[in-house]
Copies of this chain bind each other. A is one copy, B any other.
């Protein structure tokens, strides 16, 4: 019996799932598009139709992971006061990266590829998280606890100040308990800045 033709979207997802599983298990560097095609019993040409390069595969895998993280963030403590939301956001992003690295060391390799190859997913991630921080700051202004004239500017500075605990490269370097203290202390510093009329 001939298998019915599946929609392209479904094939694309299947390629992504298999590629992600193989990259996580064997490492990005040692898996080729031909290996992925073999694993899927597809022709390499069929995989190439969807992804022309290994980096475009990593970009798509990272984009998907980022979307999942961001969806989880949206639901995060949105009924709490702004300072608590800021801390929850930083903590969640940090824990996400810390757990990824415990689960699979090759994930770190993939993250480095997205950085060194300057893939779009990193910029999109920054843009969306900066947007979320901006919303929290705006809510804090509304609540009367934060002072801000230029919210996007402060949101960008806040994102950068948080890099020490949310950037995947930085979270890969320290033990979880040191990171937890670091996160609390840096958020505390940022919070003091946002509460100050001087940060305007």
Contacting residues, chain B, for A163 (C-beta < 8 A): 163-164, 170
B190 with A199: CB separation less than 8 A: no
Quickly give the copy total for this chain. Answer: 2
From DSSP, what is the main secondary structure of chain A's interface residues? helix
**B-binding segment of A12-20, A43-51, A53-61, A151-159:** A151-159
Contacting residues, chain B, for A124 (C-beta < 8 A): none
Contacting residues, chain B, for A189 (C-beta < 8 A): 154, 157-158, 161, 190, 193, 199
Contacting residues, chain B, for A64 (C-beta < 8 A): none
Instruction: Name A's B-contacting residues (CB within 8 A).
Output: 115, 153-154, 156-158, 160-161, 163-165, 167, 169-170, 173, 182, 185-186, 188-193, 195-196, 198-199
